[in-house]
A and B are shown apart, each in its own frame.
Chain A
Amino acid sequence: MATIAQVRRLTKSFGSLKAVDELSFSVEEGDVYGFLGQNGAGKSTTLRMLLSLVYPTSGEIELLGLNLSSHRKAILQQVGAVIEHPELYPYFSGLENLSLFSRLSGGRIKRKELMQQLELVGLADRATDKVHTYSMGMKQRLGIAVALVNDPALIILDEPTNGLDPQGIADIRHLILHLSRDRNKTLIVSSHLLAEMQVIANRMLIMDKGTKVVEGDMSALLDPSKTIVFLDSTNNEGARRMLEASIWAKALKAGELRPNRAPVAPDRNAGAQNGDSGPIALQMNKEDIPRFNEALVQMGIGVISLEPRHSLEDYFLQLTTSAQHVAPFTH
């Protein structure tokens, strides 16, 4: 499988602010590659650098086997993109906008083919209406049609579901999956919504403050054998000692040694200040959780809560809690 995007040590500074810091990743052919991170994490800046909208301070970008700085035109002929809200010309119809951008992409596509593109995004019946009469979801879909107009090998979508209603989100999601599965397109999609990424992406990169937190296959990040279980009990310190001496000691060690440790919210740290250690993290197979629950009862541990979380959620909550100080364990 060919590498579609290869990014090495990409850095972008705006004055003293490092928006992207030494970021490296690769996207393989056929991937739906998810960029996940809070607002301000550096996702949009990275995607803008992939499109030459923003110039990197340092680092290297290779797209479709070519260096971006020296082959910009050749690369962009094979790339379609929607960055943030696809604002189009409001005084043109959807069809006219599509025609305009098809000519900018280097070709003059026939009306019939343009209509097929509009049909793909569900806008054929509104093709001749002025864009200022479109809803946000329709504009978003038209933006994707514009991105697809030159039949690109790589499609870059920055926050494609931002500001959409649930139906609009579902439409975009189906479209992305259709492009990936039925048309074999490679997509790079950014979002700050974990649930959305879980559904559409097969590989993911989580960013925070311009740096990579984790990159990997979604199947590995959602691996049920690596489920993190957070145990909160009436006496966490005592529970920890009992678990260390039990068959769950290995799970306890794996949980504590996991690379991405979500911080515990201040209110849940109250116990730790009184000599308690706060909730205990264990890593185990999801199927073992009922057995673990029984074991806790048999050991006489007063369970307040047991919260299973796969590693992806754990990574993401690490970001959200550190950025917003929201309690990760609230019920």
Chain B
Amino acid sequence: MWPLLRIELWKIFRKPRTYISFVAIAVMVWLFQLAFYADGDSYIRFGMQPLTGSFDISGKIVNGYLVCYIILQTFLMQIPLLIALVAGDMIAGEAGLGTLRLLLTKPSGRGELLAAKWGATLVYTISLLLWMALLGLLGSILIFGVGDLMILRGGEVDIHQASDVLWRYAAAFGFAIVAMMTVASLAFLLSVFAQNAIGPIVTTVSIVIVATILSTMDIPFFSKVKPYLFTTHMLGWKGFFYTPVPYKAIYTSLCILLGHIFLFVAIAWWAFKKKDILS
């Protein structure tokens, strides 16, 4: 299993396509930071407009913690596309390239190969989020410094002291890994049924978009479905920045996301074990 995982990681990180995601995240984060560095105060003043009637806000609000929070909020719904780019390629890409049949003529079992590929997808997803954390959090702290984190939630304001913020980010990134692995597992599952990578990548992104729309629309017709959609729970990381932290809701979201991961991987495993390799 470990040699297989190492081989899969070697393949992922030697493939130029893999680095598109890392470059894309770097460019997005740097552009965001540049914009904030140039005119962040105007943006914050605009965002705080609903509160200025009731509160007298003074002092330096823009700091590394706030910029990172806004980066996470803005990008975590776009990251699935980058995750799908690699996860959707894991099986279908090999089938399209013609290497899948060569891989499966070797002694390792199909289950082992699938587990190694999923493990490699997990490592890639974690790497991508760590990269985002490095640039988004560490980079923002270096550029903007640290300070109390003030965030808006509806009409309410949550304020956290600077010393009380880092653990929230650690927890939020941990949650984001589970959320992104749900998307990765979906792309991975679709990859088992396809002969080239484009299909699973586009289908995964389409499913995420449709499910996100369903999750955010306040239409009673969809209200029974919404609690079970993984997209409803993908932004559960925000809970770590609320006061008090809604642990029960976060736990429920985690369970639903992990349930989705288990379901997607189980179906992928079953289908791959039974599949005739004709590519």
- A residues apposed to B, CB below 8 Å: 48, 51-55, 72-74, 76-77, 79-92, 100-101, 103-106, 143, 146
B276 near A54 with CB under 8 A, answer yes
Instruction: Give, as a whole number of angstroms, the nearest-CB distance from A105 to chain B.
Output: 5
- The answer to whether A101 and B106 touch across the interface, beta carbons within 8 angstroms, is yes
Check if B277 sits within 8 Å of A53, measured CB to CB: yes
Min CB gap B93→A, angstroms? 10
Residues of B within 8 A of A (CB): 3-4, 7, 10-11, 14-16, 97-99, 101-109, 274, 276-278
**Would B3 and A77 count as touching, CB distance under 8 A?**
no
- With A73-B107, A104-B4, A105-B107 known as contacts, the answer to whether A86 contacts B102 (CB < 8 A) is yes
Chain B, Cβ-Cβ closest to A74: B107
Distance A92 CA – B99 CA, assembled complex (angstroms)? 13
Tell me the bound Cα distance from A272 to B11 in angstroms.
65
Contact A87 B99 (CB under 8 A): yes
- Picked from B3, B4, B104, the residue with its CB within 8 Å of the CB of A52 is B104
A104 B108 Cβ-Cβ under 8 A: yes
Residue of A nearest to B109 (CB): A73
Cβ contacts under 8 Å, B105 to chain A = 51, 53, 76, 79-81, 83
A103→B3 contact, CB < 8 A = yes
Residue numbers in A under 8 Å from B101 (CB-CB): 48, 53, 83-84
How near does chain A come to B16, taking the closest CB pair, in angstroms? Answer: 7
Known contacts A53-B104, A76-B106, A79-B105; 9 additional CB pairs below 8 A are A53-B276, A54-B278, A72-B109, A76-B107, A82-B102, A84-B98, A87-B102, A91-B16, A104-B108
Sample of 26 A–B contacts (CB below 8 Å): A48-B276, A51-B104, A54-B276, A54-B277, A55-B274, A55-B276, A72-B107, A73-B108, A73-B109, A79-B105, A81-B105, A83-B102, A83-B105, A84-B98, A86-B98, A87-B99, A89-B14, A91-B16, A100-B11, A104-B3, A104-B4, A104-B103, A104-B106, A105-B106, A105-B107, A143-B102
Complex Cα spacing A145 to B274, Å? 29
* Interfacial chain B residues near A90, Cβ < 8 Å: 97
Given contacts A53-B276, A72-B109, contact A104 B7 (CB under 8 A): yes
* Distance in angstroms between the alpha carbons of A48 and B278 in the assembled complex: 8
Q: How far is the CA of A311 from the CA of B199 in the complex (A)?
A: 49
Tell me which residues across on chain A come within 8 A of B7, comparing CB atoms. 100, 103-104
Please name the residue on chain B nearest to A72 by beta carbon: B109
CB-defined contacts of B104 to chain A, threshold 8 Å: 51-53
Q: Given A103-B7, A104-B7, A104-B103: A91 and B98 within 8 A (CB)? A: no
A258 to chain B, nearest CB (A): 37
With A76-B106, A104-B108 in contact, is A87–B98 under 8 Å at CB? Answer: yes
Q: Among B10, B11, B107, B274, which residue has its beta carbon within 8 angstroms of that of A106?
A: B107
Residues of A within 8 A of B109 (CB): 72-73
Whether the pair A100, B10 counts as a contact (CB closer than 8 A) is yes
Interface-central residue, A51, A76, A87, by most chain B CB under 10 Å: A87
A59 to chain B, nearest CB (A): 15
Q: Which of B101, B105, B108 has the most CB of A within 10 A?
A: B105
Complex-state Cα separation, A53 to B277, whole angstroms: 5
Alpha-carbon gap, A72 to B16, bound state (A) = 34
Chain A: CB-nearest residue to B273? A55
Contacts known (A53-B276, A54-B276, A104-B4); A87 close to B106, Cβ less than 8 A: no
Residues of the B chain whose Cβ atoms lie less than 8 Å from the Cβ of A143 = 102
CB distance from A43 to the nearest CB of B (A): 14
Q: Assuming A48-B277, A53-B277, A54-B277, is B99 touching A88 (CB within 8 A)?
A: yes
Contact assessment for B102 and A101 in the assembled complex, using a CB-CB cutoff below 8 Å:
yes
From B10, B15, B97, B278, give the contact of A87 (CB < 8 A). Answer: B97
Given A100-B7, A101-B102, A103-B7, A77 and B107 contact (CB-CB distance below 8 Å) = yes
Interfacial chain B residues near A72, Cβ < 8 Å:
107, 109
The residue in chain B whose Cβ has the minimal distance to the Cβ of A53 is: B277
Q: Is A88 touching B102 in the complex (CB atoms < 8 A)? A: yes
User: Looking at the complex, which one of A52, A81, A84, A91 makes contact with B14 (CB distance below 8 Å)?
Assistant: A91
Q: Is the pair B107, A92 in contact by a Cβ cutoff of 8 Å?
A: no
A105 to B107: give the CA distance in the assembly, Å: 6
- Cβ-closest chain A residue relative to B10: A100
What residue in chain B is nearest A92 (Cβ atoms)? B14
CA distance A48 to B14 in the complex (A): 29
State in angstroms the CA–CA spacing of A248 and B277 once bound together.
54
Please judge, given known A-B contacts A54-B277, A54-B278, whether A89 and B11 are in contact too, CB under 8 Å. yes
